Amino acid sequence: MRVPSTPVRFRPHPAGGAGSRRGPGVMKRVDRVARLLKMMQLLQSGRPLEPEKLAESLKVSRRTLFRDLKLLDDAGVGFSFSRRSATYQPKEEPLLPPTHLTFPEALALLALLRQGLRQRSHPNPRELASAAVKIESLLPRRLQDTCGPLLRDIEFIPPPESRTELAASKVEYLQRAMSMRLKVRGVYHAVSPREVITSIIRPYRLVHVHRGWYLLGFSEAHGEVRMFKIERFVSIEVTQETYRPDPDFSVERYFGRAWNVIREDRTWRVKLRFSPRVAQNVAEIRWHATQRTFLASDGGLIFEVDVDGLKEISWWILGYGDEVRVLQPPALRELIKDRIEGMRALYMNGVTAMKEA
C-alpha cells in the first residue's frame, strides 16, 4: 500500500483554470474576501485591537474598515467594541487558524489523541474526543480511508492511572487561576486521610507525573513550594488576590534527581548488578536521566544512577526480587535488608503492623 506524503491542505479550488479571465470587478471582490478572512483571523486572535491598528494591518481606510466590520457583524462573526479600552475584542473564545498537516503528522496526531482517550490521563476527555473527531473529519476522504485501517492496527495498553475524572473540574479551576495569576484556597487531604490542610496557594505548574496529576505551588501554610495531588483536594476556591510567579522556579530543579517524584536532601551514587535473566529488559528502558549501564562478562548488567534519596529507588529494586543486588551504597543495602526482614516477619510470623519506612 502506498502511503500518501502530500500535505493535507484545506484550500478553496480556484474558480477556473490557468487561462480563466478575471476582470477588475472579480479581482476587487476576491481582494475583499481575502481582506475579510484576514480581519476574522485578527479579531479571533484574542488580542484587543484598536481601530487604527486594525485598519493599518489591513491597509484600508477607517471608512472601509467600518464597512467591513458591519458586514462581518451582519454575518454573525462574534466581536464587540469596548468603549473603555477603545478596542475590538472577540465575544467568544478565539479559534485557531487553519493548519497544514502532512499525512504522517495527521496520523501521529490522531494516534496521540486516541492514546490519551484510551489511557484516560487527560483531565478533559470530552475536549480530547471532540478534537480527534474534528481533525479526522477535516482529512480528505482518501486520507481518511488510509488513516482508519492504520489507526486500527495501533493499540495502546495504558499503565495503571489515577482516577482522572476526579481531577477534571479541579484542573479547570486551577488553569483559570493560573491564567489570571490568582491565588487559590485549597482544602487538602494529606497522606493520612485524617489530616486535612487548608492553605492559600500560588499555583505555579500542573504536571502529570507518576500516573497522576499534581499541582506545584507555593503554599503559604508551609512557607515553601509543595506538591499536591489534584484528587486529594476536598475543595478549591479561586480568590481575588493576585500573585507574581517566582521567575526562578523550575520544575526540573524542583524534582532534581528524584527517582520519581519524592526528592530527598542528599544525592546518592547507586550501583546495582542485575542478573543475566533481566539484564536486557532493564537496559532497554531509560529509567532516569543520570543512568549508566555496562554489560558484565557473564551477561549481567551493571546499573549506575545518581538519585536524590533512597526510598523511592528501594521500592523499585525490591520489584526485581533476587534478580538484583545492591553494590553501593551500604546505606541502600541496609535499607533493602530492613524491608526484606519486615516482609519476612509479615509473612512468616503473621505480623500485621506495617513497619514505618
Q: What is the 3-state secondary structure (H, E, C) of 138-176?
A: HCCHHHHHHHHHHHHCCCCCCCCCCCHHHCHHHHHHHHH
Whether 79 shows a pLDDT value over 80: the answer reads: no
Amino acid at 190: A
The answer to whether residues 82 and 48 touch, using CB atoms and an 8 Å cutoff, is: yes
Q: Residue 186 in 3-state DSSP?
A: strand
Selected from 1.10.860, 2.60.520, 3.40.50, 3.30.70, the CATH number assigned to the domain covering 267-348 reads 3.30.70
Whether 335 shows a pLDDT value over 50: the answer reads: yes
What is the DSSP-derived secondary structure letter of residue 139? S
Task: Quote the pLDDT of residue 163.
Answer: 67
| Higher-confidence position of 45 and 202 | 202
The reply to whether 167-250 shares the fold of 24-90 is: no
CA dist., res. 267 & res. 256, Å (int): 10
CA distances from residue 314 to 173, 209, 282, 309, 318 in whole angstroms, order as listed: 36, 19, 15, 9, 6
The CATH T-level fold of domain 24-90 is Arc Repressor Mutant, subunit A (1.10.10)
Range of 83-92, 128-137, 342-351 with top mean pLDDT: 342-351
**Domain locations along the chain:** 24-90, 101-152, 167-250, 267-348
Task: Quote the pLDDT of residue 208.
Answer: 85
What is the DSSP-derived secondary structure letter of residue 273? E
Task: Quote the pLDDT of residue 276.
Answer: 96
Task: Quote the pLDDT of residue 311.
Answer: 94
**pTM exceeds 0.75 for this model:** no
Question: What confidence tens digit (pLDDT) does each residue in 284-332 have?
Answer: 999 999 999 999 999 999 999 999 999 999 999 999 999 999 999 999 9
Residue written as grid cell 484576514: 38
Architecture of domain 167-250: Roll (2.30)
Average pLDDT rounded to a whole number, residues 179-207: 88
